[in-house]
Copies of this chain bind each other. A is one copy, B any other.
């Protein structure tokens, strides 16, 4: 049997995410993001569709590179206004039994000590269904609001991330032994102090002498997600990540990322299949091809190219407000370490993308392909993409909230199930069990578990 294909839903606690402008479509409901019912409905829908999880993206800043102002982002609703992603997890977890949650939190956004407690809490409340998408942040606007004049340098951010992970790994994996919590009513012992250890961390960025505040949750360390494709990001993913998100407009781009990620994982001494790779895609599926094509055209008519360029400007640090729409995209200078532009030229080496083409491409579906057709046609494309790239699944964006996901669940998932390429039920247990059929903890060989322990026990 061919390999199973997995789906994740790519979301954001905001009025608009990867398809700026589509909020103007009359059937879009993404303005309901402040309503808990919006998220509970989504979670139940995705669980019915046997999605691995919902992946909640985040930024802690605004897209203010375009025209050196936040005005275009505000006008176009480009990932602003945006709310805290963590608050959605307890809500959606309580409404479901199996769905996983990958939450984006930047290491530059919070001190690791309270952060470790936040994630342990979510792992407790969800019964071990939490994942953490480790990001280092890419918006200078976020850094400025934390009192820094600009973002740390790209590699410097990864050095900080390395130490940040060391701290949270020590708290999650090395502070409390499995049998530390006794809750012995007769003996009057809640926790055995001999089985709890202060982590005694002293580093360049953080000093954390104490114990973790939480008792161990079932997964301890949440499932680790990552998305970097720079050399330093790949090395980081190779060492740490259990799931990796990639995005690009063509099979060749994704194939290269997949090879690079798996090589980085092997270079870090792990097995290539220790990492699940999901590629971003937008599915536009109809009962018939004609219906799907009509819907596609309707969606294309709602693209907001200026908003798309505000997004692209934020991702790349390049201000596209003064570039003519027909300028070839390679002529624009890119700051070092930023890779979003490269993927456009790599997408189809036989031609050059113009700024206008990139804007329309990003305007519907973000940085991934748009797969259009009947259930059979989309299933064919899904299989082709999966088999030609070596990915494990897709990180599916929406154009219309929640209609896009409803169509996937109602029309595409049953077709893939008929073909034996998609799960008909969940593996019992934690998110890690569902993804890897082992767990609930990280493998004993993972760098989080082989760290040197902290100080003596608390007793």
Binding site for B on A (CB under 8 A): 13, 15-16, 21, 23-26, 31, 34-36, 40, 60-62, 69-71, 74-77, 80-84, 86-91, 93-94, 109-111, 113-114, 117-118, 120-122, 124-125, 141, 144-147, 181, 183, 185-186, 188-193, 196, 198, 206-211, 213-215, 217, 304, 458-459
In the A-B complex, the 10 residue pairs with the smallest Cβ-Cβ separation, listed nearest first, are A77-B190, A34-B124, A71-B193, A81-B215, A84-B121, A83-B121, A74-B191, A24-B185, A147-B207, A74-B193
Which residues from chain B contact A193 at a C-beta distance below 8 Å? Answer: 69-71, 74-75
Residue contact A188 to B83, C-beta cutoff 8 Å = no
Q: For A86, give its contact among B71, B87, B145 (CB under 8 Å).
A: B87
Which residues from chain B contact A25 at a C-beta distance below 8 Å? Answer: 185
A409 to chain B minimum Cβ distance, whole angstroms, is: 23
Residue contact B185 to A304, C-beta cutoff 8 Å = no
Residue contact B94 to A36, C-beta cutoff 8 Å = yes
Smallest CB gap from A144: residue in B: B209
Which residues from chain B contact A111 at a C-beta distance below 8 Å? Answer: 110, 146-147
11 contacts between A and B (CB under 8 A): A34-B124, A60-B213, A71-B458, A76-B190, A82-B117, A83-B120, A84-B114, A84-B122, A86-B118, A87-B87, A109-B114
Smallest CB gap from A15: residue in B: B190
A110 to B109, CA, bound (A): 9
Smallest CB gap from A26: residue in B: B185
Residue contact A214 to B82, C-beta cutoff 8 Å = yes
A86 to B90, CA, bound (A): 10
A189 to B71, CA, bound (A): 11
A94 to B304, CA, bound (A): 34
Count of chain copies: 2
Which residues from chain B contact A459 at a C-beta distance below 8 Å? Answer: 69, 71
9 A-B pairs besides A141-B210, A147-B208 with CB distance below 8 A are A36-B93, A60-B114, A60-B117, A61-B213, A75-B191, A81-B213, A84-B118, A87-B87, A145-B209
Residue contact B74 to A125, C-beta cutoff 8 Å = no
A147 to B211, CA, bound (A): 14
Which residues from chain B contact A24 at a C-beta distance below 8 Å? Answer: 185-186, 188
A161 to B158, CA, bound (A): 32
Residue picked from A94, A117, A191, most chain B C-beta under 10 Å:
A191
Residue contact A183 to B36, C-beta cutoff 8 Å = no
A241 to B124, CA, bound (A): 33
A408 to chain B minimum Cβ distance, whole angstroms, is: 24
A76 to B80, CA, bound (A): 46
Which residues from chain B contact A83 at a C-beta distance below 8 Å? Answer: 117, 120-121, 124, 213-214
Which residues from chain B contact A84 at a C-beta distance below 8 Å? Answer: 114, 117-118, 120-122
Which residues from chain B contact A186 at a C-beta distance below 8 Å? Answer: 24
Q: For A94, give its contact among B16, B40, B117 (CB under 8 Å).
A: B40
Residue contact A113 to B210, C-beta cutoff 8 Å = no
Residue contact B90 to A15, C-beta cutoff 8 Å = no
Residue contact B62 to A210, C-beta cutoff 8 Å = yes
A36 to B89, CA, bound (A): 12
Which residues from chain B contact A109 at a C-beta distance below 8 Å? Answer: 114
Which residues from chain B contact A16 at a C-beta distance below 8 Å? Answer: 190
A30 to B88, CA, bound (A): 24
A107 to chain B minimum Cβ distance, whole angstroms, is: 13
If A94-B36, A147-B207, A209-B145 touch, whether A13 touches B75 (CB-CB below 8 Å) is no
A317 to B406, CA, bound (A): 57
A183 to B77, CA, bound (A): 8
Which residues from chain B contact A304 at a C-beta distance below 8 Å? Answer: 188
